[in-house]
Amino acid sequence: MHPSYFEVQFSVPAPVHDWPEKFAILSGYATTGEVWTDHRNAAADRALGETIFVIGVWRERITGFFEDTGHSEPGWAAELDLEAACDLGLKFLQDAIYYVQGDALSVSYCDDRRALVPVGSFRERVRTESGK
């Protein structure tokens, strides 16, 4: 698994007071190791958001970022089970997705290597865009 997966931080536009007990964090942006145009990234992100909306589950805008490199990409937190989240990740050409259970943040490949690998505390890694 790519080492950067374990260094991720998250930001949300506003405080979220009622996170679901279990949810996935997905991105439509270029998967690890690939470079896509801004237009392709934006189109994939929009399509992912629309797909989650149509499924009809709780969703929240969330951005994953890496303090050491400054890389960030918007994504979606969505109340999906692990299998559905990995299937959706595959549909959007992702290598892996994050999964939260309680406060436990894990990462899983989307392909046949699906298994939760612990990353750490989710709440310790999330902040609002205002910095709080």
pLDDT tens by residue, 5-40: 999 999 999 888 889 999 999 999 887 677 888 899
State the pTM of this model.
0.91
Q: Closest Cα to residue 13, out of 128, 131, 132?
A: 128
Write down the pLDDT at residue 93: 92
Q: Closest Cα to residue 8, out of 122, 128, 129, 130?
A: 122
